[in-house]
Structures are given as C-alpha cells and as structure tokens.
Structure 1
Amino acid sequence: MSERGAGRPTTHRGWAAELYRRGKQLELMHRAVGFATLALITLAPLLIVVAALDPLHHAGFALWLVDGMDLSGQSARVLTEVFNPPPRVAASTSAWGLVLLVVFGVSFASSVQNAYERIWRLPSGPWHRIWRQVVWLIALMVYLYVQVLTRTLLAGTHRMLLSVGVGVLFFWWGPYFFLGRQVRWRLLFPGAVATMVGLVGLRVFSDLVFTPLIVTNAVSYGAIGTILVVESWLIGVGFVVYGGALVGHLFCDRMGHLLQHKEADAP
C-alpha cells in the first residue's frame, strides 16, 4: 500500500501505459494460462462430481460451460457430449476420491488468492489460512450453480441483471475474504465491477468466435478440439478475473484512495 497516486498523469494514454506495466509485472498472461490449466485439470473434475451429485439435476458441468460461453444449438450439443459425465460417476466416486478432488480444487483457489495478494502488494497469508481457500471454493461452486439456476427461472433483461448483480457481489466478496480483510470493501468494488464488465464482454466475444469454432474443431479434431476451445475460453476468463482486479487497484491508486487508506490504517 505504499504507492502514491498524486502527480501521475491522468490521461487515457497514461492509464493504459500504467495498466500495461502493472500487468507485465504481474505476468498477467502467464497467470491467465495457469488459471485455465488449473481450472481444467483440478477444478473441472470436482465440478463434474458435484454436478453428478446434484439431486435436483439443475446444473451439470456441461451446462455451466454452455451458459458461461453463451453457446446454443449445435455448439452447445457438441460441448455437452464431451463434458457430460456418465450416470454412474457419482456412484463410482469414493469418499477418498472426493477428498482428493477437493485438495486439487484448493490448489486452484490458492493460485487465485496469490494473484490477489500480488495485485494489492500484500504478503502471502500463512499456510493455516487454507480454510479461506476451501470456503471460497465452496462459494465458487454455489455461485456457478446459482448462475445456471437463473437460466431456467428467468430470461432476458431480468436474468442478465440478476446474473451481473450476483457476479459483482461474488467478485467483491472474494478478494475481501482472500485478503483477510486487509483491504476495505469500498476499495474492492471498482475491481468487482471491472471484472463483470470484462466477463460480459467475453460472453459477447464467445458468442461471435467460440460458438462456430467449437463446431469446426469438433468436426476436424474431435473431442480434443472442443477441449482446446474451452481451454482458450478459460484463459480469457483468467485474464478478465485478474485484469479486472488490476484495473480496480489502478483506479483506486489514481484517485488517491490507496493513500487515504494507508493513512487511516497507520498507528
């Protein structure tokens, strides 16, 4: 929190240059690729099992992807065929296997927590705060479940407003919880808004690019082609999640809020 916003250029070019510099320091693209890789190999199996255990059958993992990527028609059917688990997946998953999946999922949550700590220039939390990662992981699954649940209950503008509102709340609470309340709520709000704006933009981009690409890759490369498209989309999600937090931090810095925050916290 030692940064100073006073005296820095406030032009759009100055903001863009500073944002690029901070993104390079954070290794934003590298972290986005790591986000996508961990999400696919550690988080996805956990979500598949959780979806299979869902007694209401409202949200399967494939439906979560279809909704997040805003797919429809043939592209949605192709993705569902690849990621829909067999009916016996819940019965064949042992308690020990579920525990291992949770452990792998926690590694994903840990990477997200580390990114937020880097963005806000805070030291890494002690190992015994792993419970925060577990709680955040559970909250993430609830958030995804709610997002898909609204798909079956609402439509149009009402559904869009509810989804954006729930998303802002999740990405507002997540950093606050991960950072152990070291950053005030009001400082984290701009980052939550920027993240949701980015996710809405990614959704539009997905409809224009990924929807036809999934069908084309499925025909050319089979299931692996579909997985590659999903991995590319997850890279975009990671870029937006970390980039949104970075934009929020830069906004607070340029507005002088970080300096005020430090002075208020000083003994």
Structure 2
Amino acid sequence: MAARRLQRRAETRFPVITHIAERMVSVNIFDSATRLAAQCFLTAVPLVFVVASVAPEPVRQQMAASIRAVFGLSGAASDQLQSLFGSSDAEVQNAVGVVGSLMVLLSATAVSRAMQRLCKRAWEIPRSGVHIAIWRWLVWIAGWICLLVVQEPVRSGFGVGLWLGVPLTFLFQTLVWWWTQHLLLGRLVPWRPLLPGALLTGGAMTALSVTAGFYMPRALDRALGEYGSAGSVFVILSWLIVLCVAVAVGVTVGAVLAQEPFLARRLGSPVPNRHGARRG
C-alpha cells in the first residue's frame, strides 16, 4: 500500500519522469541495446566487408573513410582497417563465395529484427496480432549500407569543416532515425509522433560522433598495445553498446514524450497503454 501511494504521488508530481522510467523498464534498455550491438558486430560488420568486396574501388575507399569517421579510428587501428579494405576483390570473393554472401545477408536481417523489436517495445506495440512485412528488414539493411557510405562527407561538412559538419550530421541522423522508425514499425505509428524520438536519437548520435574522435583513438591504441587485435575488438564492441544504448534511450524517451498530452494533441500520437487500461 505504501509503495502504491508513493507511486501515485510520484505520478502526480513528476508524471513525465515517471512515465519515462516505466517505459524504459518495460523496454529493458540495456538488454535491448546489448543485443542490438551484438547483432551489429556479428552480422552487420561482416556484411560491410562482403559489400565492399563487390563494390567499385571509390565506393570501397569511401566506406573505409566513413568507418574511420564513425569510430574515430586513427594510427594502427586505421592501418588495419585500410589493409582489410585494401584486399583484392578476388581474394575476398573467393573466401566468401555466393552462398556465403547470401548467408551473410540473411544473417544481417537479425539487426533489423532487433531494431524492430526495440521500436515496437518503445511504442508498446504487442508482439501478437501485428505482422510487419519481411521486406522491410532487407530495405533497412540496404539503406543502412548506403547511408554508411556518405557518413564521412557529411561529418566533414563536405570538406568545409566541423562548423558545418556537426549541424549536417544532426540533420542527417534525425532523418535516418525518423525513417528507421517509420519503416520498421510498418506505418503503425504516423510520421509526426516519431519526430521527437528521431530528434533525441539524432542529437545523441551526433554528440557521440564528436566524442568518438577524442576517445576512440586513445582507447584503441592502448588496447592494441596491451592486448593486440583482441583488445581492439573489445573496444569497438563496447563503443557499439554505447551507441545502441543511445539509440534505445532516444527512441524510447521520444515515444513517451510524443504520447504526453501536450505533444500528443499536436502530433496525433497513439494513446499509451496506461490510458487505454484506465478507460477499459
């Protein structure tokens, strides 16, 4: 009884904070983000190298430059990445093969499914009774690969500098995560309610992209010096988890804010389950 009274008092005094906390618990933020990061590392990263093996040389070099920009790679880590992307097309294609490439592509849809589950949990969409077309997983993966190629030019402001690159990155990331939610939710939520989550996620990813340039080179150089290549794997995986936590928090908090009365009336947001339960 005392716990319920405290909960009701908190809901009355700090409704938005309470609703955010409840939704983050229901989404299981850290578990969802860790699974998403693991799927990215195990399936999406191999897909990048498979795509690079069949891509023209300029596209391959642009992908390498974008990966360096995303993770802030420099020094020995950057040299290792360049050696991987510098392998000849025949070497990589012979190592992977057609069947292997198809398996890598199908495995990469695990990232799409993990991201879709996160979006559905954030918006309290039930698992049962809702079927979303499988082609959306493949489209999201294809879009993700295309967007990766242009990361480096956007971050550098197309050569102008960070003063233009940072705002462009924020705009770019916002549009990407706005589209991601709309695509993977299968139009179950209209465009406008998805905007707060896109803005929050875009802002978080932009801030982390700037932070990566300061943190990752030092962390990777230290890990390579002490533990070799295995150390760099742990550093990159840890950074992927940080990125995925930012995505999970941004999408979830954005969903809650969009369903609060002040914004819900303006955005046409779906009614949260707590309101539906009270009406029922």
Q: Which has the higher contact order (CA 8 A, sep 6+)?
A: 1
Q: Name the stretch that deviates more: 43-52 or 75-84.
A: 75-84
Give, as a single letter, the amino acid of the residue that structure 2 aligns with 1:137.
I
Partner of 2:189: 183
Q: How does 1:101-116 map to 2 (within 5 A)?
A: 101-116=104-119
Secondary structure at the aligned position of 1:94 is classed as helix
Note the C-alpha offset of 1:258: 4.2
Give the Cα–Cα distance (whole angstroms) in 2 for the partners of residues 16 and 194 of structure 1: 16
Partner of 2:73: 71
Residues 94-127 of structure 1: per-residue CA shift (max 9 Å, x gap): 221111011101111111101101111113343x
* TM-score, with structure 1 as normaliser: 0.84
Q: Name the stretch that deviates more: 240-249 or 251-260.
A: 251-260
Give, as a single letter, the amino acid of the residue that structure 2 aligns with 1:223.
S
Q: Does 1:90 align with 2:54?
A: no
2:146 to 138, 142, 145: 142
1:154 to 152, 159, 169: 159
Does the aligned pair in 2 maintain the 1:106–1:133 contact within 8 Å? Answer: yes
Q: How does 1:1-267 map to 2 (within 5 A)?
A: 8-9=11-12, 15-59=16-60, 62-72=64-74, 74=75, 76-77=77-78, 80=81, 84=85, 86-87=87-88, 88-124=91-127, 125-126=130-131, 129-150=133-154, 153-156=158-161, 157-258=163-264, 260-262=268-270
Query: Closer, same or farther in 2 for the Cα pair 1:202/1:150, shift >3 Å?
Result: closer
Give the Cα–Cα distance (whole angstroms) in 1 for the partners of residues 249 and 82 of structure 2: 32
Query: Closer, same or farther in 2 for the Cα pair 1:151/1:231, shift >3 Å?
Result: same
Secondary structure at the aligned position of 1:181 is classed as coil
Secondary structure at the aligned position of 2:125 is classed as coil
Give the Cα–Cα distance (whole angstroms) in 1 for the partners of residues 66 and 118 of structure 2: 24
Secondary structure at the aligned position of 1:121 is classed as coil
Give the Cα–Cα distance (whole angstroms) in 2 for the partners of residues 242 and 103 of structure 1: 23
Secondary structure at the aligned position of 1:129 is classed as coil
Q: Name the stretch that deviates more: 220-229 or 138-147.
A: 138-147
Secondary structure at the aligned position of 1:86 is classed as coil
Note the C-alpha offset of 1:167: 1.7
Does the aligned pair in 1 maintain the 2:173–2:205 contact within 8 Å? Answer: no
Does the aligned pair in 1 maintain the 2:173–2:202 contact within 8 Å? Answer: yes
Give the Cα–Cα distance (whole angstroms) in 1 for the partners of residues 94 and 44 of structure 2: 20
Query: Closer, same or farther in 2 for the Cα pair 1:215/1:117, shift >3 Å?
Result: same
Q: Name the stretch that deviates more: 117-126 or 26-35.
A: 117-126
Q: Name the stretch that deviates more: 151-160 or 99-108.
A: 151-160
Cα-Cα RMSD: 2.7
Query: Closer, same or farther in 2 for the Cα pair 1:58/1:223, shift >3 Å?
Result: same
Query: Closer, same or farther in 2 for the Cα pair 1:33/1:82, shift >3 Å?
Result: farther
Query: Closer, same or farther in 2 for the Cα pair 1:107/1:85, shift >3 Å?
Result: farther
Does the aligned pair in 2 maintain the 1:78–1:218 contact within 8 Å? Answer: no
* TM-score, with structure 2 as normaliser: 0.80
Structure 1: give runs of 5+ residues left out of the alignment. Answer: 1-6
Does the aligned pair in 1 maintain the 2:65–2:152 contact within 8 Å? Answer: yes
- State percent identity of aligned pairs: 23
Q: Max radius of gyration: which structure? A: 2
Give, as a single letter, the amino acid of the residue that structure 2 aligns with 1:119.
A
Does the aligned pair in 2 maintain the 1:45–1:101 contact within 8 Å? Answer: yes
Structure 2: give runs of 5+ residues left out of the alignment. Answer: 1-9, 272-280
Give the Cα–Cα distance (whole angstroms) in 1 for the partners of residues 17 and 67 of structure 2: 31
Note the C-alpha offset of 1:212: 0.7
Note the C-alpha offset of 1:83: 5.3
Give the Cα–Cα distance (whole angstroms) in 2 for the partners of residues 44 and 77 of structure 1: 16
